[in-house]
Chains A and B, each alone.
Chain A
Amino acid sequence: MNKQLKEKIAFSILTFTMLLVVVPTVLIIGFIVYKGIGTISWEFLTAMPRKGMTEGGIFPAIVGTLYLVLGTIAFALPLGIGSAIYLTEYATHGKLYKLIRLAILNLAGVPSVVYGLFGLGLFVLFLGFGSSLLAGALTLACLILPVIITASEEALKSVPQSYREASLALGATKWQTIQNVVLPHAMPGIVTGAILGIGRAAGETAPILLTVAAFFLPRLPKSFFDQAMALPYHLYIVSTQVPNMPEEIKYGVALVLLGIVGIFFAIATAIRIKFKMANRA
């Protein structure tokens, strides 16, 4: 076989695999938009649900999901970045280090319902937070920690050693070096990790089912100790638990969930680009 032919075959196969990934994604999103767009109205987004959720809006579920995602990020980001800094900058690379790394990798593969049970046991019951936004956010934070730690670690490792050396040689302390040189440079990568985490936190159903979500609660949570509705769980309910639920409402909820995740992605991407520019400046 000549080189050009090989080149063509490789190119075709790679294009095909790319399409295999892209086409279904586009189809799914397109399908949901097509089926759900008709439902979206100002009322749907801002009103309380009525008549066994078959009428009115999904405002409490939207607010609940927003609170959950923000709460999750507020817990998971500092903790995850802190752990990653410890692992890359301070820990000596011995047996314990390897064990911790292995544990983190494994945690990333644990099914989310297991996190739900863990959250139920620890936060809801043992710590007595009850079924609440707090318990839900903490549970989701545990769920996305491995992702955030791993992404942050990669980002920190990609900071050129020469920057650290230059800073230390100028008489900066290790912590000053991390604050002023290492972290700013690693920030885009860390934000990428946060983006992935947000996507998961916003979309998970099992963990919130066990720790926070209310079936039907036509009012907004007043504090972090309140229960709340949330979009993924609401979607599950309207799709399977309520008889005679109009089809469009299901797709409307799905579309709103998709939209919220999309908005968070857009914000995170904007932050990422801002940090990237700052590094080049």
Chain B
Amino acid sequence: MAKISVKDLNLYYGDFQALNNIDLKIEEKKVTALIGPSGCGKSTFLRTLNRMNDLIDHVKTEGCLCLEDQDIYDGDVDVVALRRRVGMVFQKPNPFPKSIYENVAYGPKRYGMKDKKQLDEIVERSLKEAALWEEVKDRLNKSALGLSGGQQQRLCIARALAMKPEVLLMDEPTSALDPIATAKIEELIMNLKENYTIVIVTHSMQQAARISDNTAFFLMGDLIETDKTQKLFTTPRDKRTEDYITGRFG
């Protein structure tokens, strides 16, 4: 079933068109990988899904993006509520300069949750879901900036999970991490898809192949091809996809 369906999406930064007529369905509780060479519009596309592009001046978005049956870009959509349903993890780990606990509790607190016991539960659940609980349970009140890069990124995942989002967007979440930290996060992502719909941008073909169910290949603002990951990597339909995944360019 499609959790998010995108139809005829065009996006402009001022006069520059960064996305051309994108049609894409994102399946529920699956991992969808977005691949393509640098500058092809993967991040731009990802950021349309939680309307993070709204923060940039002069961005124009056209087309139809539906989260289930709600049009994301409808005039009276509550962006704040949307972002609670669609969480995001960024390329560079960006924990707040606060304690580990305060980082995870940040979203729920802003949402108005005050009950200490409830917050404790959420923090514990989220950190467990992000496979970080065992490593930090004894120092929840210590600064998040004292964690390693990989731990920080898992903390950012926990922070997003604390809001119990339906969709989790990840923009190259492992590109700043070493192979061991990367492997941990990949394993985590595969576990998370039981409960969450995940869209992940990655530059690593191997990563896409390892963890995703579906893959979409972008090139210069066009969506060239999308398919089950296995099929796309073994029998691509488009010559350009084949060139990219066999490393002939990009």
Instruction: Check if B201 is an interface residue, CB within 8 A of chain A.
Output: no
- Using known A-B contacts A92-B57, A172-B80, determine if residue A281 contacts B90 with beta carbons closer than 8 Å: no
Q: Which chain B residues lie closer than 8 Å to A171 at the CB level?
A: 80-81, 83-84, 107, 110-111, 163
Interface readout for B88-108 with A: 1 if CB under 8 Å, 0 if not?
101010111111000000110
Q: Which of B94-150 contact A (CB under 8 A)?
A: 94-99, 106-107, 110-111, 143, 145
- Using known A-B contacts A180-B110, A280-B145, determine if residue A170 contacts B94 with beta carbons closer than 8 Å: no
Q: Quick check: B90 and A280 within 8 Å, CB to CB? A: no
Q: Quick check: A162 and B52 within 8 Å, CB to CB? A: no
Q: Quick check: B94 and A281 within 8 Å, CB to CB? A: no
Cβ-closest chain A residue relative to B108: A170
Q: Which of A143-201 contact B (CB under 8 A)?
A: 160, 162-173, 176, 180-181, 185
- Using known A-B contacts A281-B99, A281-B143, determine if residue A167 contacts B106 with beta carbons closer than 8 Å: yes
Q: Which chain A residues lie closer than 8 Å to B97 at the CB level?
A: 185, 279-281
Q: Closest approach, in angstroms, between the C-beta of B112 and any C-beta of chain A?
A: 10
Instruction: Check if B55 is an interface residue, CB within 8 A of chain A.
Output: yes
Q: Closest approach, in angstroms, between the C-beta of A10 and any C-beta of chain B?
A: 36
Cβ-closest chain B residue relative to A281: B143
Instruction: Check if B65 is an interface residue, CB within 8 A of chain A.
Output: no
Per a CB cutoff under 8 Å, which of B81, B83, B98, B143 touches A170?
B83
Cβ-closest chain B residue relative to A278: B97
Provide the bound-state CA to CA distance between A181 and B52, in Å: 17
Q: Which chain A residues lie closer than 8 Å to B163 at the CB level?
A: 170-171
Instruction: Check if B215 is an interface residue, CB within 8 A of chain A.
Output: no
Provide the bound-state CA to CA distance between A160 and B96, in Å: 10
Q: Closest approach, in angstroms, between the C-beta of A46 and any C-beta of chain B?
A: 44
Q: Quick check: A165 and B55 within 8 Å, CB to CB? A: yes
Q: Quick check: B90 and A170 within 8 Å, CB to CB? A: no
Q: Which of A18-49 contact B (CB under 8 A)?
A: none
Q: Quick check: B99 and A163 within 8 Å, CB to CB? A: no
Q: Which chain A residues lie closer than 8 Å to B83 at the CB level?
A: 168-171
Q: Closest approach, in angstroms, between the C-beta of A273 and any C-beta of chain B?
A: 15
Q: Quick check: B81 and A162 within 8 Å, CB to CB? A: no
Q: Closest approach, in angstroms, between the C-beta of B91 and any C-beta of chain A?
A: 9
Instruction: Check if B208 is an interface residue, CB within 8 A of chain A.
Output: no
Instruction: Check if B4 is an interface residue, CB within 8 A of chain A.
Output: no
Q: Quick check: B110 and A176 within 8 Å, CB to CB? A: yes
Q: Quick check: A162 and B80 within 8 Å, CB to CB? A: no
Q: Which of B69-93 contact A (CB under 8 A)?
A: 80-81, 83-84, 87-88, 90, 92
Instruction: Check if B50 is an interface residue, CB within 8 A of chain A.
Output: yes
Q: Quick check: B160 and A170 within 8 Å, CB to CB? A: yes
Instruction: Check if B31 is an interface residue, CB within 8 A of chain A.
Output: no
Instruction: Check if B29 is an interface residue, CB within 8 A of chain A.
Output: no
Cβ-closest chain B residue relative to A176: B110
Provide the bound-state CA to CA distance between A215 and B38, in Å: 72
Cβ-closest chain A residue relative to B145: A280
Q: Quick check: B52 and A170 within 8 Å, CB to CB? A: no
- Using known A-B contacts A169-B50, A170-B160, A171-B111, determine if residue A162 contacts B90 with beta carbons closer than 8 Å: yes
Provide the bound-state CA to CA distance between A261 and B81, in Å: 49
Provide the bound-state CA to CA distance between A19 and B145, in Å: 39
Cβ-closest chain A residue relative to B110: A172
Q: Which chain B residues lie closer than 8 Å to A181 at the CB level?
A: 96
Q: Which chain A residues lie closer than 8 Å to B107 at the CB level?
A: 170-172
Instruction: Check if B156 is an interface residue, CB within 8 A of chain A.
Output: yes
Q: Quick check: B92 and A168 within 8 Å, CB to CB? A: no
Provide the bound-state CA to CA distance between A280 and B98, in Å: 8
Per a CB cutoff under 8 Å, which of B57, B88, B96, B99 touches A169?
B88
Interface readout for A213-241 with B: 1 if CB under 8 Å, 0 if not?
00000000000000000000000000000
- Using known A-B contacts A172-B106, A172-B107, determine if residue A166 contacts B96 with beta carbons closer than 8 Å: yes
Instruction: Check if B42 is an interface residue, CB within 8 A of chain A.
Output: no
Q: 4 tightest CB-CB pairs across the interface, nearest first? A: A171-B84, A170-B107, A169-B88, A162-B94
- 16 pairs of residues in contact across A and B, judged by CB atoms under 8 Å: A165-B52, A166-B90, A166-B94, A168-B55, A169-B50, A169-B83, A170-B84, A170-B87, A170-B159, A171-B81, A171-B83, A171-B107, A172-B80, A172-B106, A176-B110, A180-B110
Q: Contacts A164-B55, A171-B83, A173-B80 given; 20 further ones with Cβ under 8 A?
A: A93-B57, A160-B94, A163-B96, A165-B90, A166-B90, A166-B94, A166-B95, A166-B159, A167-B106, A169-B160, A170-B83, A170-B87, A170-B110, A171-B107, A172-B80, A172-B110, A176-B110, A181-B96, A280-B97, A280-B143
